[in-house]
């Protein structure tokens, strides 16, 4: 959606549902708790003063007409059913999402539905920023995708977002780690003579390490003239990294299922961390998928690292991927309440850099100091002041002295 960092592929409808919910939130809609009684379970119910919508969402594996229109028809039927059966009869909306949605297919799908079910609003979305809505005043959600020239431009491919890819950020942390205390950054500490040694230390492929060395050498930030990989022009490098991180991040407001105080979060994270991946005594069968990683983020993380400055801001956590089981284990819900959210969840695009660098503080996983500095810098709630404090007290003394 417009202004967001790159989204992961829409692998399932639950993930697409999160994207759509955030799209409505950005336009001032409230995403309401779903009425799960009487067998009525729509995908979303959203409201704003004077208007309430029931939204059905389907994901298409491809943006082809023969895939999109049948799914749109199904979504429209289900939205109409829920509209008739939910008290207040919210207006029905059918939305189809795909990784790429051709504009010609979107227009044909809209015409198809408007001719056959004009009472149902329609939306077609994709991951390239394309949003096409019609009906019930939802045209304000429309957005054009980036041009092919923008998407395929060599300059764009080699620009800051690629330079600061997930694994590149992690390898930067590995090379910076000898200068930063282990209590502030979890990373191997050593000196490396080439791609193979860096790859082994960072736990990445040799090809990833080779690309990292090539890209940062071309930009003038990496020197191997003495045989060892050395980061140079550190202040400029950190400023480039910070600028590349100034992209809007999708945040999901959360509420405790049972109303609890501020101290609930540390206990919830410790409990989540302590749970076994496999039930006791279960030694047979395939290994379960790794549980999504979590850690404290932003101001709560700064506090845990002993450099807190902003107090009273809502807590943030990083969660590796959207997962209903994770929310249940943490004891939180993403359904909108009338009161202020208890905390916010972020699903990072640079998950390896975030979670590999995280440190443990009193049994709590906590974002590393570099990540906190990058994250709080763009936060409106005195984030710049927090970032400046981190820079002055921790980063500048070790990075500027011989950068």
51 contacts: CB under 8 Å, gap ≥ 6:
91, 136, 137
- Domain CATH code at residue 148: 3.40.1350
Q: Does the residue 2 lie in any domain?
A: no
Q: Are residues 273 and 296 in the same domain?
A: yes
Q: Does the residue 312 lie in any domain?
A: yes
Q: Are strands 230-231 and 294-297 parallel, antiparallel or unpaired?
A: unpaired
Note whether 206 and 199 are within 8 A (CB). Answer: yes
In the chain, count H helices and then E strands.
17, 15
> What pLDDT, in 10s, does the model give residues 31-67?
875 544 445 578 889 988 889 999 999 998 888 999 9
> What pLDDT, in 10s, does the model give residues 215-234?
999 999 999 777 899 999 99
Cα separation, 130 vs 111, whole angstroms = 17
Report the candidate in 112, 56, 113, 108 with the shortest Cα–Cα distance to residue 80: 56
What is the distance, to the nearest Å, from the Cα of residue 270 to the centroid of all Cα atoms in its chain? 22
Q: Are residues 106 and 174 in the same domain?
A: no
Cα separation, 387 vs 258, whole angstroms = 33
> What is the pLDDT averaged over residues 244-259?
78
**For the chain, first and last CA: distance in Å?**
38
Q: Where are the alpha helices (DSSP H) in 219-323?
A: 234-244, 264-274, 298-304
pTM value? Answer: 0.61
Strand (E) positions, 143-250?
A: 222-223, 230-231
Q: Are residues 299 and 212 in the same domain?
A: no
Q: Give the structural domain span for 33.
A: 13-152
Q: Return the biggest CA–CA distance within the chain.
A: 74
Q: Does the residue 285 lie in any domain?
A: no
**Is 238's pLDDT higher than 80?**
yes
Q: Are residues 82 and 167 in the same domain?
A: no
Single residue among 87, 121, 152 that ends a domain in this structure: 152
- Domain CATH code at residue 178: 1.10.10.10
Predicted pLDDT at 279: 47
Better-scored residue on pLDDT, 310 or 187: 187
Neighbours of 61 (CB within 10 A): 10
Q: Is 64 left (phi over 0), alpha (psi -120 to 50) or beta?
A: beta
**Number of domains making up the chain:** 3
Q: Are residues 37 and 22 in the same domain?
A: yes
Predicted pLDDT at 247: 67
190 contacts: CB under 8 Å, gap ≥ 6:
178, 201
Q: Are strands 222-223 and 230-231 parallel, antiparallel or unpaired?
A: antiparallel
> What pLDDT, in 10s, does the model give residues 349-359?
899 999 999 99
Q: Are residues 147 and 184 in the same domain?
A: no
pLDDT above 90 coverage of the chain, percent: 48
Q: Is 35 exposed, middle or buried (0-12, 13-18, 19+ CB in 10 A)?
A: middle
Single residue among 128, 152, 176 that ends a domain in this structure: 152
Cα separation, 264 vs 364, whole angstroms = 13
> What is the pLDDT averaged over residues 330-338?
77
Residue 13 pLDDT grade (very low, low, confident, very high; cuts 50, 70, 90): low
> What pLDDT, in 10s, does the model give residues 21-30?
878 877 778 8
């Amino acid at each position: 959606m417009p202004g967001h960092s790159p989204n992961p592929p829409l692998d399932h409808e639950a993930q697409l549902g999160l994207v759509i919910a955030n799209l409505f939130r950005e336009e001032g809609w409230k995403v309401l708790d779903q009425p799960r009684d009487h067998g009525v379970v729509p995908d979303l119910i959203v409201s704003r003063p004077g208007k309430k919508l029931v939204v059905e969402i389907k994901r298409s594996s491809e943006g082809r007409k023969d895939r999109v229109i049948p799914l749109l028809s199904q979504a429209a039927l289900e939205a109409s059913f829920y509209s008739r059966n939910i008290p207040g009869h919210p207006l029905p909306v059918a939305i189809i999402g795909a990784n790429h949605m051709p504009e010609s297919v979107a227009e044909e799908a809209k015409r198809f539905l408007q001719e056959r079910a004009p009472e149902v609003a329609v939306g077609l979305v994709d991951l390239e920023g394309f949003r096409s809505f019609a009906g019930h005043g939802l045209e304000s959600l429309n957005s054009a995708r980036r041009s092919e020239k923008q998407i395929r431009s060599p300059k764009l491919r080699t620009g800051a977002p690629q330079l600061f890819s997930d694994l590149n950020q992690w390898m930067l942390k590995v090379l910076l780690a000898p200068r930063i205390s282990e209590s502030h950054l979890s990373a191997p500490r050593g000196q490396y003579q080439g791609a193979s040694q860096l790859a082994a230390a960072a736990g990445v492929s040799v090809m990833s390490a080779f690309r990292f060395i090539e890209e940062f050498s071309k930009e003038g930030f990496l020197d191997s003239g003495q045989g060892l990989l050395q980061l140079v022009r550190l202040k400029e490098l950190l400023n480039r990294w910070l600028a590349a991180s100034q992209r809007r991040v999708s945040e999901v407001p959360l509420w405790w299922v049972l109303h609890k105080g501020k101290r609930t979060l540390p206990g919830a994270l410790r409990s989540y961390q302590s749970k076994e991946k496999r039930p006791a005594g279960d030694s047979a069968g395939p290994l379960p998928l790794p549980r999504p990683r979590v850690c404290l983020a932003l101001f709560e993380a700064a506090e845990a690292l002993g450099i807190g400055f902003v107090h009273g801001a809502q807590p943030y956590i990083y969660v590796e991927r959207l997962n209903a089981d994770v929310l249940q284990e943490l004891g939180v819900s993403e359904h909108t309440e009338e009161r202020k959210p208890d905390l916010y969840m972020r699903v990072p695009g640079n998950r390896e850099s975030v979670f590999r660098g995280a440190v443990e503080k009193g049994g709590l996983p906590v974002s590393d100091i570099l990540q906190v500095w990058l994250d709080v810098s763009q936060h409106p709630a005195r984030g710049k002041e927090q970032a400046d404090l981190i820079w002055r007290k921790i980063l500048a003394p070790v990075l500027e002295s011989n950068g």
